[in-house]
Amino acid sequence: MVIDTWKKIERSQFASIYLVYGNESFLINETKQRIISAALTEEEMDFNFSRYDLEETPVEVAIEDAETFPFMGERRVVILDNPVFLTAEKTKEKVEHNIKKLEQYIQSPAPYTILVLTARYEKLDERKKITKALKKEAEVVEAKKLNENELKVWVREWAAANAVQIDEDAIELLLTLAGTNLMMLTQELDKLALYAGDTNHIDSAAVEKLTARSLEQNIFALVDKVVQRRIDEALRIYYDLLKQNEEPLKILSILAGQFRLIYGAKELSRKGYGQQKIASYLKVHPFRVKLAAGQAKHFNDSQLAAIIEMLSEGDYEIKTGRVKKELMIEMFLLKLNDL
């Protein structure tokens, strides 16, 4: 896991070459920043740090830099972004790369240089010789979307690294309220740690009190109130969203998306699909599937079909001006109480 690599970086146990790839931008950026901060002082940055965009610069230019002795310091850090030659994706290559030069460097890297290749691609072309060489010789960091268990490990590891204890139910609530975006989670954890102060303890009450909800998470909470048939509280959430100048049509769209997710999770679960497979099929995070599956238990098929039809009609009535948009969702929530 990426956290293991971070621990080694903190101990200044650097690899000569890192290959960081995947579609989780936060993990890629964080890994790069941790390497730079741990390997170089601020004074050394001007002399011993370089970054190259390989969509614009031939790789051999970057390798020549990597082979240059550091100036006024022990090591150099050279970042190579967008190594298009590692992917099977079709890209408009503006430059030609001397891949042989990189292959030679991989076999005998400069002992004073940390070379970091960051590939924001979901998959690499495993058939290519250069990909095989990197995977064999470099420290490989897969920056992929974390599943529910990995997210919980992530939060625990963050807490341990920051000398903070976080309760298990607080972790569960944090993921429910803040979602699965790592940048958002980190911001919320930083805030919670500050609030914890000398106690160094984060409980679910603190999470409930301080965690900022995204519009999507507010909609989830709204649906949850509907599930519990607490329509008055669902309406209160809706009115709060209006006070925050959220667009009713956007709220309606996200509501429709949540109920389609609930319906899809219910249907696919009935067909024997597991949580991971449902998430892949519906193209959402597995944690969202877990939450939707929990909500699905409170609706039968005919109720979900009626709700989705009501939302579709509401969208049409708003767009054709037949109903005032703020009133439409209020009417929808009140109708749900009668289902």
Q: How confident is the model over 304-336, as pLDDT tens digits?
A: 999 999 989 988 888 888 888 888 888 888 888
Which tokens belong to 137?
A: 């010789």
Question: What are the strands, taking DSSP E only, across 109-162?
Answer: 113-119, 139-142
Query: Residue 88: pLDDT above 90?
Result: no
pTM of the model: 0.69
Query: Residue 51: pLDDT above 90?
Result: yes
Query: Residue 91: pLDDT above 70?
Result: no
| Residues across the chain | 339
Please, which contacts does 121-125 make with residues 24 or more away whose CB atoms are closer than 8 Å?
Answer: 121/21, 121/22, 121/23, 121/86, 121/87, 121/89, 122/22, 122/23, 123/87, 123/88, 124/21, 124/86, 124/87, 125/86, 125/87, 125/88
**Per-residue pLDDT, 90:** 67
Alpha carbon 291 to chain centroid, angstroms: 17
**Per-residue pLDDT, 191:** 92
- Write down the mean pLDDT value for the chain: 89
